[in-house]
Amino acid sequence: NMLPIHEKNDLGVTHYEASSLLVSQWNLQQSVTDAVFSHHDELQNAQKLNTLGKIIWAANRLSNSLIVEKDAPDLSAEQLLGIDASSLPELITEILASVEQVTADIGIHGNSDPLVKSLPSEQIQTNRVRLARKVQAISTIGGVLDNLLKAENLTRIVRIIEESFQILLNIRCCLLLLPDADSGVMRIHLSGSNEHQKNKERSLPVTIGETGIISECLKSEAILHATSTDKLSIDATEIQCLHLLGSDGLVTIPIPLEKSARGVLVAGVREAESKAITEHQETLSLLAGQVGMRIRLERLQQQAANEQINALNRIARQIAHEINNPLATLQNYLVTMSMKLDQPSNLQEDLDLIGNEIQHITKITSQLNDLSSTQMGDDYQKVDINQIVTSAADFYKQSLQPESSITILRELDDNLPLIQTSTSGIRQITGNLIKNGIEALGDGGTLTIKTSVSTETSENSEHITIIVEDNGPGTPADLADTIFTAGVTTKGSGHVGLGLAITRKIVADLGGSISYAAGKTAGTRFAVSLPVKSK
């Protein structure tokens, strides 16, 4: 049979390779996949298959030669399954009659004569190519789901989508536009391989205008595509996307999220690729559905993490309260006992030692209270971010040990606008990040704090960015994707791993976002983005 050879030459994949790949994703037994894959093997290999594999092999062999010559019968079925070769003509006739009856019952009418071709050979070949491409596309999407479920974060999700686009449409880069789960602010998410993004930010805030292809995609819930030759109005967001994708055209695919919320998958296209989109609309919709499912799963996990933080906060407050009461009583007794001593003695030294230990426990309970205090008070006002950052940096600089060689640098944008937000919230965010950086540096290194205001978006969506970066040892690769998860820490015993998780929650409560990346040379880099105008 020359069909597999032609398929391999023309399409790069045979029908049994594509079929076995699909079957393997249905969680069936491995023997089923092997049977599908092996139905074009040589006879000696088929003899090693199980009964199912032998039946499929023999059926395929006989289907390619429905007219059995009595003088030269096919002996393969007899060798594999013990079917008498002389009975094959009668057996095939009965099977054909059964097939015709079944197809007629379900409304399918075809040509029962295998020697008559109902379609021209060119049309047959065209249909085969179209079918093979569709099988390849569906196989690709089937594999994507497994990879999406294993993706650690949004950056990796975007990269997986790009890999799928590369196979289906030869498109290298794409963007994921998603509304923030807490604030609703639309953000562009990029993969780590996007060469058009000059800095390390993988998430950028944007404002969707009333016109343009992205706005129309969100409204119509339809796949849209346009190139520079199309008469389609574009706004600042489309221009930003074109720049990040390095293209002169866009394709937008709606992504269903929770309730009525939607995201948009945006890819850069040229004229030839734009035409190919039409052939893959069904496949792209399937891909978008899988991406939406993965995003919903991500948000459910984050919701569970927030609930875990809230539970830990309640426990921390309860522990602090339960410890503080007896501690206060003990301290009062110590003071009273010290006053009753007429002269210094060894007992006084013991009392001092006990007092020091009680003070140490008091500090721990104070830290528990600080750690669990994530509720924003009624201190929303116009805030000078640079002033708070400077105050926090000076405080921690003065708290360093005399022998410490840690340097704290500030690179602050003097043109920052005042921001309507919570003063206590900003203090806790900057304090937690600076403290985290100092602890990561240990005995020496450089901690750099930067501020800036976004200039790529419209005035209504201006964002202030606070960056805290150190050149310490960095974060282990296996923890990088869970660094904001409650209970995750790189600092060993004595640390409960709540600081960054709570920082992320405060940032979200203020309508912003926080991201982590490796530093430019080494260490860690945290970027906090806050809206100038609160929602």
Q: Look at residues 284, 302, 320 and tell me which one is the last residue of a structural domain.
A: 302
* Residues 107 and 144 both lie in one domain: no
**pLDDT confidence of residue 442:** 85
Q: What is the pLDDT of residues 346-386, one digit of tens each?
A: 666 666 666 766 765 666 566 566 555 555 555 678 899 99
- pLDDT for residue 152 is more than 80: no
Q: Judge if 198 and 253 occupy the same domain.
A: yes
Asked if the structure places residue 342 within a domain, the reply is no
User: Is 347 contained in some domain?
Assistant: no
DSSP string spanning 219-238?
Answer: HH-S-EEEETTS-----HHH
**Average pLDDT, integer, range 292-306:** 80
Are residues 152 and 207 both part of a single domain?
yes
Specify if 307 maps to a domain. no
- The per-residue DSSP string of 40-101 comes to TS-HHHHTTS-HHHHHHHHHHHHHT--S--SSS---HHHHHH---GGGHHHHHHHHHHHHHH
Residue 401 in domain: yes
Domain that holds residue 395: 375-535
318 domain-assigned: no
Q: Across-strand partners of 398?
A: none
* pTM > 0.85: yes or no: no
Same domain, 94 and 160: no
Q: Are residue 35 and residue 174 in the same domain, yes or no?
A: no
For residues 10 and 65, membership in a common domain is answered with yes
Instruction: Say if 255 falls within a structural domain.
Output: yes
Q: What is the mean pLDDT of the chain?
A: 76
Please tell me whether residues 509 and 400 are part of one structural domain. Answer: yes
% of the chain beyond a pLDDT of 70 = 69
24 domain-assigned: yes
CB atoms within 10 A of CB 331: 15
195-199, 409-413, 508-512 — which one is most confidently predicted on average? 409-413
Query: Are residues 400 and 526 both part of a single domain?
Result: yes
CA 113, 117, 123, 125 dihedral sign is positive
Burial-class residue 56 by CB neighbours within 10 Å (0-12, 13-18, 19+).
buried
Interval 220-267: pLDDT, tens: 888 887 765 555 556 778 888 888 888 888 888 999 887 778 899 998
Q: Which of 83, 116, 149 is the last residue of a domain?
A: 116
In a domain, 417, yes or no: yes
pLDDT digits (tens, 9 = 90+) for 35-91: 888 888 888 888 888 888 888 888 888 776 554 455 566 777 788 888 887 787 788
On whether both 297 and 397 belong to a single domain, the answer is no
**Best-predicted range by mean pLDDT among 82-91, 478-487, 494-503?**
82-91
Q: Is residue 159 within 8 Å of 170, Cβ to Cβ?
A: no
How many domains does the structure of the chain reveal? 3
Looking at the fold, whether 112 and 139 belong to one and the same domain comes out as: no
Query: How much is the average pLDDT of 167-175?
Result: 79
pLDDT greater than 90 at residue 467: yes
